[in-house]
Structure 1
Amino acid sequence: MLNFSALRDHLQLVANSHSNTESVTVSGATVDFAYTDVTDCEAGINFAGDSCGLPSLTRLETTFAEIAGARTPQPPTSPTKPSIKNSVPAFSLLAKILGAMAELYLSLDRKRDAQACVEEAISRSQLSHELIYLRGRVLEADGQVESARAMYESAIAINPSHVKALYALARILRDSEQYILAEQVLRDALAVDSTNSRVWCLLGEVLSSSSTSDPDSKATATTAFLSAVELEQSEPVEPFHTLRLGVYCS
């Protein structure tokens, strides 16, 4: 790093001594100064056989900076790594815990506690498809089926691969005897996770309850039930399609 203040003092000393030439070593390179007018401190620089006139010390400092920069090795550039912070989902860890608690309370028929968990999760995180789905679950448990259906449809619109919302919507469609729509929704869910025994079981119920004249519907329903039984025996605690495979590096 050049010390321009020291250089300025050095040049002033040369000027006061009325010397016409001076050599200064900068970053391992020797620079010869030939002053054409000592009193005005205007200098010509001879560097590697080249000369140029400088009207002021400001330009002289600039030249030294360019020399030093040219001789200083630059560190190799590396590709920018993606920031892990940018990949953190908006649905925070605390919101996930509150969501899991809400589902637990719903399974225990504690609707008010479940609703409190959902509202707390919403206040601490951005509104996501998971929170919208949980709000639908609370509304459905409270008997507000149409409002719950709207929540499920909104969650699916944000994330078409949300199997739990697809399953909940299909269940409402089945209860309202909209079997064709229910079957379509369930097949969309199976396209995402074909190992979900609950989806296969509900598909069997929809096909067996359908009034369609398709002669193969009963056989398809039986196949769906058999698939549900087979998958239930080896169904993991966490669905396979939700497992994150890979290594996270900081």
Structure 2
Amino acid sequence: MEEIIRIHQLSKHYAGSERYALKDLSLSIKKNEIFGLLGPNGAGKTTLISTLCGMIKPTSGELRFNGLSYRQNRRKIQQQIGIVPQEYALYPTLTAVENLYYFGSLYGLPSSELKRRISDGLHRVGLTDFAKKPIKTFSGGMQRRVNLLAGILHRPSVLFLDEPTVGVDVHSKEVIMALLHELNAQGTTIIYSSHHLNEAQHFCTKIAIIDAGKIVVEGEPQQLIASVNGATTLENVFIHLTGSQLRDYA
């Protein structure tokens, strides 16, 4: 399978910190994978994803997207990625349509095409009847569905997901996961981060566990489970590799 993202000896050190957030991290992500980036609090997941999205610059190392260097092609690469953050990236006083039109327009989509994609998207996630209602009146699951649509209107090659189903009802989760599987089947590579290890086990085609700024292990979910004696779930593997100590930080 063709490679879409290559990370080579990536390091990130924040000013004032006593340690590296990422240290000589290397990773390859193939096209059309559903790639899970998992790790305990403070492991470096957020820094890695933020770097991949072009939001922060690494201290050293190399990133390539479809053969293009992030250093020379950052803007071009950012046009090809979609980001669905854990926190709702929506304006509460605007309607669902107004929010989606705003975010879609940032990618330069023609007005007629954008309107069609918004209409199709709202229908797909069961929100047509709520299209002209303010986001602040929506339930958490409804907002989560609009949040997802905002990140895929421009049909990105790679979609970054951070806790895409946190706090949603069962029906919203089913709709969200079905849409994500459809996008992947149509060729979108998905990079997924979550603390829902059971969801990751069944959703991801490949997983990397990161801790202390380094990749601890990488492989298909069932391969990782089989590699740990007595493990029956990905959660067993996670605890075995990262320990049971609390990772609270402020």
| Structure-2-length-normalised TM-score | 0.24
Comparing both chains, which one has the higher relative contact order based on Cα–Cα distances under 8 Å and sequence gaps of 6 or more?
A: 2
Give the greater-gyration-radius structure (CA): 1
| Structure-1-length-normalised TM-score | 0.24
More strand by share: 2
